[in-house]
Amino acid sequence: MTIRLLPLVLTAPLFAGEITIERGPFRIEHQFTASAIPTEPALISLKPESWTDFTIETILDHGSEVAKGDVLISFEREAYDRQLEDLSRSFAQRQLALATAELDFAKLKAETDLKLEAARRAKAQADDDLNYYKEVAQPAELADLEHTVKKYQFRLDGENEELKQLKQMYEADDLTEETEEIILKRQLSSVEDAKFDLAETIRRNERAKTSSMPRRLQAFEDAATTATIELEKAEANIPRSFKTAELELQGTRVALEREKLALDRLKQDGALLEIKAPIDGVFFHGSLEDGQWSLGELAKVLVETGKLPINRVVASISPAGAALPLCARIDPNMGRVLSDESTVSISIPGREDLKLTGKISNPPGALGIDGKDPVTVTVEWPEDFVLSPAASAECIAVVYEKEDAISVPAKALKVAADGTWNVALKMAEGETQQRAVERGRASKDRIEILGGLEVGQVIVVPD
């Protein structure tokens, strides 16, 4: 923003010394630069889903006339095609991996049920074997041992009795025949065999009672305990393993969904590798934000091999035949003195011969992010003059004007301790006297005086 002052009619020079007070024109004007911005431009920006490397291959010149569908900007696509191929292949591989995982999981479910059932069955069998041995087999074995001892004892008793009978029978005869001797020896041998068998049976029985039977009982008990432990482990770990496999399968499904989403987004971004004109109009480079056109650092990237930034306006199309008001952002201090319908003088660089005026069609609005007020100037352009979109114009608005004002140099005023403004008034005797004045508006180095001075008086302006 600049402040332009018109020359003031004075009767004395503006340098330090004496000035005779006279009336003359006094006005305040503000100057600002505006840009010709279409009311409803088609904004060009890139908002991709995932692809970020937009290296320009071709771009139309700034100010090119375009028709709807014309290619404005095309981008290199070799890197894009390579990534699309890689991602497509990875997605296909992950689909196959998911199919395999689904099949494995279905088999795992059946195997899990079988393992749990086997563990429960083993536990039931071990418990049954232990109970059977304790309640049936072991008592039967003990009974068998006792019966065997009794049997061999009965045999021994029988053999002894038979030997006794033989001896009594043979002792009745005075002469023992050779045959009788043989029979007695044979019976004695049978008695000895019976004694041996009985003793051996008693020994084996004792061994069975003190060793083999307790060991078998311990083995059944250990088997039952082991089966119980294995069942508890199976009931705890097998479901965990199944849940882990289920989570892994879900993870594979989610990974596939995410990869599909990434692939879909990348495919959508392929359409952005050519930016086409959405309407007929004039294509121009630069951002258009908050009513301001700006090229700035975009001038370095809106060229071949330049990398276009994303998620911001980089170019626009001014619709064919669209009105082009002048838009600007001005300092809030200037905005406070401009009002709706204020008249603005306009000068176009290179066409200063045109006598143009416009109206501020909207009062200053809320502050933008740059801390400035937006303002729009509506202009009736000559029929034979075509203003290019984004062209600049110098605007001058007169915000205060008075034809017969009294004004003095700003340095002629001094503020007193009580807050009043004073000037050094030259008296008839040649001395100076401080005179309180009522100050008005300020225009650069001139101050309007509303009261306290009269035409013809002389004031002294200090160095």
pLDDT band at 7 (very low <50, low <70, confident <90, very high): very low
pLDDT at res. 232: 93
Write down the pTM of the prediction: 0.60
Are residues 176 and 157 located together in one domain of the fold? yes
> Structural domain tally of the chain?
2
Paired with 406 in beta bridges are 23, 449
Does 239 score more than 80 pLDDT? yes
The verdict on 241 and 102 lying in the same domain is: yes
Give the pLDDT score at 390.
Answer: 75
> Is there a single domain that holds both residue 66 and residue 87?
no
Same domain, 148 and 261: yes
Residues 304 and 259 in one domain: no
| Residue 242 tokens, joined | 């199944």
Rounded to an integer, what distance in angstroms lies between the CA atom of residue 91 and that of residue 296? Answer: 42
Nearest to 148 by CA among 197, 221, 78: 197
Please check whether residues 306 and 219 belong to one and the same domain: no
Q: 102 lies in a domain?
A: yes
**Mean pLDDT across 92-109:** 93
- The pLDDT score that the predictor gives to residue 229 is 95
Q: Is residue 191 part of a domain?
A: yes
> Which amino acid does the sequence have at 40?
E
Task: Give 458's contacts (C-beta < 8 A, 6+ positions apart).
Answer: 18, 19, 20, 21, 425, 426
Q: Which of 169, 229, 156 is nearest to 197 (CA)?
A: 156
- Domain contains 343: no
Phi/psi region, residue 363 (left: phi>0; alpha: psi -120 to 50; beta: rest), is: beta
178 domain-assigned: yes
Report, as an integer, the average pLDDT of 163-167.
86
The string of DSSP letters for 104-117 reads HHHHHHHHHHHHHH
Give the CA distances from residue 454 to residues 56, 451, 457, in Å, rounded to whole numbers and listed in that order: 71, 8, 6
DSSP 263-330: HHHHHHHGGGGEEE-SSSEEEEESEEETTEEE-TTHHHHSSTTPBPPSSSEEEEEEETT----EEEEE
Q: How many CB atoms lie within 10 A of CB 133?
A: 19
Give dist(CA 303, CA 315) in Å, integer: 12
Amino acid (one-letter) located at 216: R
Distance CA 268, CA 270 (A): 5
292 and 169 share one domain: no
Q: Are 47 and 178 part of one and the same domain? A: no
- In this predicted structure, the answer to whether residue 14 has a pLDDT above a threshold of 60 is no
How is 88-157 classified by DSSP, letter by letter? HHHHHHHHHHHHHHHHHHHHHHHHHHHHHHHHHHHHHHHHHHHHHIIIIIHHHHHHHHHHHHHHHHHHHH
Determine the structural domain holding residue 56 and report its residue range: 38-70+277-322
Domain match, 257 and 315 both: no
Which tokens hold the place of 461?
A: 């302006």
- pLDDT at position 171 is 74
